[in-house]
Structure 1
């Protein structure tokens, strides 16, 4: 793949000393060539979405002329997936983070796509003092203690300093949007499933109390075996409990298509709710026309018409350059790159200093972006909160409505 970048060649990685991984300085004094890494799952069902996100990032960098202030930016794309796993894999994720940490020219790292992967890469990058911005991580525990597991988020920040942020609303917002969408569609008895990963289980656990507080009966919250041949017995069990709606907290790559097909076969009149983890073509093109009619998905990407002019231009520019419509998270890839470039630019002459860039990122306020105007809060979270409610038709996500999620 042609990266279309300037400056630093691959020899920077080969020659980088391991000692740089614990330095807070982004590069040697006076260096004007900096590297931004992207780490996404480029194998398995994740590939179409990840390629689209990378394309969005590339588009943003090219629009900036491969520059941030006086600094020339090299963009290097890494893969946190393996062919054997068919999705993100802990060893590959750790390797990506260490590669970036040991490259003296690294100024920022865009990734991961999956929250469970970030739980692995974040401590490594935090030790190296590198800004990490995710286009898609939504697990609450990466940034907030409210609703998180014990030890979160502090365990991800061994230096005691925050170095991570995201341009997508976190799952305390998505969980509220999910319950709103479920109520809007007449749910009364909800059964919850999850794929046992940081993202999926975390989101499922967030949905439970919100659903109960809003009057839904929660019949269960069970982890599935992602490697199961089928889920017919599980579907029969859920049916016997009288559920009229099922929510799955998880990702496509953890056998979501098979789960949907078996739920459809057993409960053709139930409503099936999925999160942004399945808001992608490898899911929507495979569940089949019958299951499509039952499917409702929350997704932070809205209808292009609802974005400001810059956002509408993104969709036009993307299609003009790549010849196809972007996957759901491409616009978040574009914004992740754009906000990183802004942080470097805002750091001025210290744009090659890792800590200065981190500080500049956390100071971003009222940024006018392709997504709308937002600020970065003290946790590293965006102040954006609107979610989209989608359906599926002819294998494609169809925008249905904006969901205004009520959260604490």
Structure 2
């Protein structure tokens, strides 16, 4: 997923020379060596406030279930889970400076063994280097931006190497990157018979990158792209932009917190638009809720991609997760991000177990990046040398009666 990212240089400046001292010395010898004692800490850093708050709560709840299922222990180690908020009250948005503080907090804690985050890809641009210097394994439950792990289409110059100052990888994610999601959105448009598409993005790291991936995939399929427009998330509406749309299909690659509902409403208002699509930044319960999201007349046009498949198709582990989640939180259909939170924590715990005793951060990094044939609630996958999952299936969702409803599996290939 993407992020509300302002000037990245300001975020980096907030983690300047003073922080370098903290990153190098706060963790002592634990960065590469063994962690003494029998207590380990796993931090998460996610936006608990604002429009992304419900997704964060679902991720945190999912992580807690994974930890509860192992009794809060791996071998001799008791695992303490500490969720941190990377958003600020004034806007409710994820904030680079706040996330940098969270990362430094984890660095300064000698018991830190893993860091779950971020939710926003642009925020991970700030925290990956801080954690990388300290050798702390980082697992994201939501990041899809290509440039965090590879220089494939959709990335920017210098990515991803500039995020890894040690020249060693410490970051992984449990969701497929946007070369896959872009192809999935294009495949959905192709299946619906789209002839021309207008794309709006929110100018964030995630959204602009996904928009580039979607555009390339559409053109590969012979579908015309009339426009790829960056919108102002703070604008009251986008009616003047919508008046220019002549396409029969409209795709929004932005986030719900980037005024996504208004963008979808205004994009759908163009008389030529027959089909409406969104990426995983808006495939959320709030989007489907007519009181908070899309009214019924627009919702009927909407389809969106997210790497969560039909709950009925999950294996026994997946079914147990949904049963445990309902029992713990009285929700029969949790937000799609809940299962990502679960798997992020489950992967971390599995890596700690495989690292053996005595445990060290480097051993856990090595275990995460050598994950092969993991049978998980998301399906069987590897983590490759870049930190990417080998999962490629995306779910296509539609809205019926104010609820997100699974439509079909999209088996997309990266552009």
Task: Give the alignment's TM-score, normalised by structure 1.
Answer: 0.92
Q: Map of 1:356-395 to 2, 5 A cutoff? A: 356-395=363-402
Q: Map of 1:8-407 to 2, 5 A cutoff? A: 19-21=25-27, 23=29, 25=31, 30-147=36-153, 148-238=155-245, 242-267=246-271, 269-285=273-289, 286-324=293-331, 325-351=333-359, 353-407=360-414
Task: Give the alignment's TM-score, normalised by structure 2.
Answer: 0.91
Give the whole-Å Cα distance in 2 for the aligned partners of 1:21 and 1:225: 41
Give the whole-Å Cα distance in 1 for the aligned partners of 2:320 and 2:76: 26
Shift of 1:283: 2.2
Residues 24, 133 of structure 2: 8 Å contact kept: no
Deviation string 1:137-156 (CA, Å, 9 cap, x unpaired) is: 00011111111110100011
Give the whole-Å Cα distance in 2 for the aligned partners of 1:379 and 1:333: 20
Distance verdict in 2 for CA 1:28–1:161, change over 3 Å: closer
Give the whole-Å Cα distance in 1 for the aligned partners of 2:84 and 2:316: 31
Secondary structure (helix, strand or coil) at the match of 2:346 reads helix
Kindly report the root-mean-square deviation, in angstroms, between the aligned alpha carbons of the 2 structures.
1.6
Give the whole-Å Cα distance in 2 for the aligned partners of 1:218 and 1:17: 45
Shift of 1:350: 3.3
Q: Structure 1 stretches of 5 or more lacking a match?
A: 1-15
Secondary structure (helix, strand or coil) at the match of 2:110 reads coil
Give the whole-Å Cα distance in 2 for the aligned partners of 1:141 and 1:234: 29
Secondary structure (helix, strand or coil) at the match of 2:229 reads strand
Give the whole-Å Cα distance in 2 for the aligned partners of 1:177 and 1:357: 32
Shift of 1:270: 2.5
Shift of 1:27: 7.6
Give the whole-Å Cα distance in 2 for the aligned partners of 1:29 and 1:386: 37
Secondary structure (helix, strand or coil) at the match of 1:174 reads helix
Residues 27, 104 of structure 1: 8 Å contact kept: no
Secondary structure (helix, strand or coil) at the match of 1:81 reads coil
Give the whole-Å Cα distance in 1 for the aligned partners of 2:33 and 2:298: 52
Distance verdict in 2 for CA 1:29–1:133, change over 3 Å: closer
Shift of 1:18: 7.3
Pairs aligned (count)? 389
Residues 62, 339 of structure 2: 8 Å contact kept: yes
